[in-house]
Structure 1
């Protein structure tokens, strides 16, 4: 079977101008598996909107790497897995999906963590580093990003992995306008994450 791909180039990606480009194609040998690459201008909050849109369309994120490479441009790669009854992943415009707020009409499921690490990071311009291991489910990443955004923390870099039934996600977080998270915010996030551990009340 031909390995079809859909592609739209970014407008002046190197300068971080114009719209984001993307390419998505099937992964050989992986049932319902796809590789999505997005690069170019993506507005603040795009990762949360994209994950919500994917979850609504029954497309799971198996792994991902995303990094802000300039003040306006991102470079990201996702491995996706579509449910058997999902709409063909090759049919979606992913930058548009990342720019669209979804009305999911659902109550947020509980975030269940198995472990976490949090520490100020000297690299990545002083971003707050958070690593979580949690019980994986469809929408886990989107709910986690919502959790951070409600505390005015937004990723400038992230890596996502699925290991068995666990999600292993790493984030480098900044505050509003790219500000460095304060010690008080770090302490508050650590306290909140502690409450999400399985077995904690």
Structure 2
């Protein structure tokens, strides 16, 4: 999984200064949404929450901050209704529009891995495996934001009903997260483990 964060399988690393989008639609409603250029802090969380409200699943993707607020990203999304896909302008607008505060959706993890070793450099590396549902990514990003953790790179996969997501994280100031933040993250993720006593499998939506 970590190798997917080192290089993009989807696109060239050059990103224009101005934010832009392109959308390719395939049979069955699947869309490839490419975003590049300047995007606001928290843009991925903004977009993930908005898509979950519209019952649009993010089935795979990759995003990387190139420099400053410039990003490259490609997300493959699947609406619950084949004709419910959005336009380029709508995807970009949602990325720039913070949603109203709300509790994160209930999700369940099979496992997770947190690494703050020297191998991760200036990042806190996080990998999670869990039961996929609409809003899975939005819920994760909301929990990271609550700990003042911001993704610098994101890799998303869905396979056989399971989400396999990985993140390179920094703190809100752009520096390496402190050890106590890594411990707090592990504690928060422990509470989402399916094998915790009394924990129920979240219902699909």
TM superposition score category, shorter chain reference: 0.7 to 0.9
Q: Aligned-pair distance for 1:168?
A: 0.4
Matched, 1:108 2:107: no
C-alpha contact (below 8 Å) 2:15/2:72 kept by paired residues? no
Match of 2:61 among 57, 64, 75: 64
Q: Which has the higher contact order (CA 8 A, sep 6+)?
A: 2
Equivalent pairs, count: 184
Residues 41 and 82 (structure 1 numbering): CA distance in 2 closer, same or farther, change over 3 Å?
Answer: same
Q: Which 5+ residue runs of structure 2 have no aligned equivalent?
A: 1-13, 198-205
Deviations 1:16-50 (A, max 9, x none): x4x411100113xx411111100000010000000
Distance in 2 between residues matched to 1:98 and 1:188, nearest whole Å: 28
Deviations 1:154-174 (A, max 9, x none): 100010000111110000010
Q: Aligned-pair distance for 1:92?
A: 4.7
Matched, 1:80 2:40: no
| Superposition TM-score, scaled by structure 2 size | 0.82
- Partner of 1:39 in structure 2? 36
- Partner of 2:144 in structure 1? 148
- The residue correspondences of 1:1-201 to structure 2 (distance < 5 A) are 13-14=15-16, 17=17, 19-27=18-26, 30-84=27-81, 87-90=84-87, 92-103=89-100, 108-120=104-116, 122=118, 125-201=121-197
RMSD: 2.1
C-alpha contact (below 8 Å) 2:104/2:142 kept by paired residues? no
| Superposition TM-score, scaled by structure 1 size | 0.84
